Amino acid sequence: MRIVIIANGVPPTDLEVSDWFRSGDTLCCADGGARVALHLHIRPTMVVGDFDSLGSTELAQLKQLGTELVQHPREKEETDLELALMWAVSQGPDEIIILGAVGGRSDQMLANIMLLALPQLQHVSVIIVSERERLVLLQPTVRNIICGSVGDTISLLPIGGDVDAITTEGLQYPLRGESLRFGPARGVSNVLVAREASVCYSSGRLLCIHSVTSGAE
């Protein structure tokens, strides 16, 4: 089961949604992300948030479509995207795709990215996607596979602390059992030299930002 979430950040393009939302997927929208679904005439299964970004007309349209609406108070500890993620993971998916989570306000964007570290998501594949980027939190003690095209940019960024014993294959600048420290930008702008690369490491949280080469599929 795959769930696609449209966040209330910079709206994804029509092409992005068509690329990632497939027949049989479940659609969940975080508050104003529902406007994208309405624009594309896609019925969300769930819309969750405080609804400060949706007007009465849009809410009426969603109700008419049979969408489940779960409204939370404006004064809350979670962001709308976090609430959407908690609903999504409760459905037992194998994969969660998040659109509309990058760009715009820096604080919101960073908070969205940090949500990848939620412990509830540990055993689910969660990817933040935009037109040319894929963001995923890699897992320690396993062989993480990165698929793409030769020339794609791969940045490996430790978050929340150092990441140790990193070994990579298929990247232009290999790491051989080395550490990346939290702070320095050493892991930025590596390059795929094959259609598949791998990253293994022992401990810590390692964010992979995969920037797709222009024109690549």
For 177-199, write each residue's pLDDT tens digit: 999 999 999 999 999 999 999 99
Confidence of residue 214 (pLDDT cuts 50, 70, 90): low
Please name the CATH architecture into which domain 2-131 falls: 3-Layer(aba) Sandwich (3.40)
Residue 213: pLDDT over 90: no
Whether the Cβ atoms of residue 103 and residue 114 lie closer than 8 Å to each other: no
pTM for the predicted model, two decimal places: 0.94
What mean pLDDT is reported for the chain?
95
The per-residue pLDDT for 68 is 98
Closest of 208, 11, 210 to residue 104, by C-alpha: 11
Residue 92: pLDDT over 70: yes
Residue 123: CB atoms within 10 A of its CB come to 9
Residue 216: pLDDT over 90: no
Q: Where are the chain's structural domains?
A: 2-131, 137-211
Q: What is the per-residue pLDDT across 114-172, written as a single tens digit (0 to 9) for each?
A: 999 999 998 999 999 998 999 999 999 999 999 999 999 999 999 999 999 999 999 99
Q: In what order do the strands lie in the sheet with 176-180?
A: 144-147, 196-200, 163-169, 176-180
pLDDT > 90 fraction of the chain, expressed in percent and rounded: 93
Whether the Cβ atoms of residue 112 and residue 101 lie closer than 8 Å to each other: yes
Whether the Cβ atoms of residue 137 and residue 116 lie closer than 8 Å to each other: yes
Closest of 10, 86, 12, 84 to residue 42, by C-alpha: 12
Whether the Cβ atoms of residue 187 and residue 154 lie closer than 8 Å to each other: no
pLDDT > 70 fraction of the chain, expressed in percent and rounded: 98
Topology (CATH level 3) of domain 137-211: Jelly Rolls (2.60.120)
Burial class (CB in 10 A: 0-12, 13-18, 19+), 174: middle
3-class secondary structure, 4: strand
Confidence of residue 217 (pLDDT cuts 50, 70, 90): very low
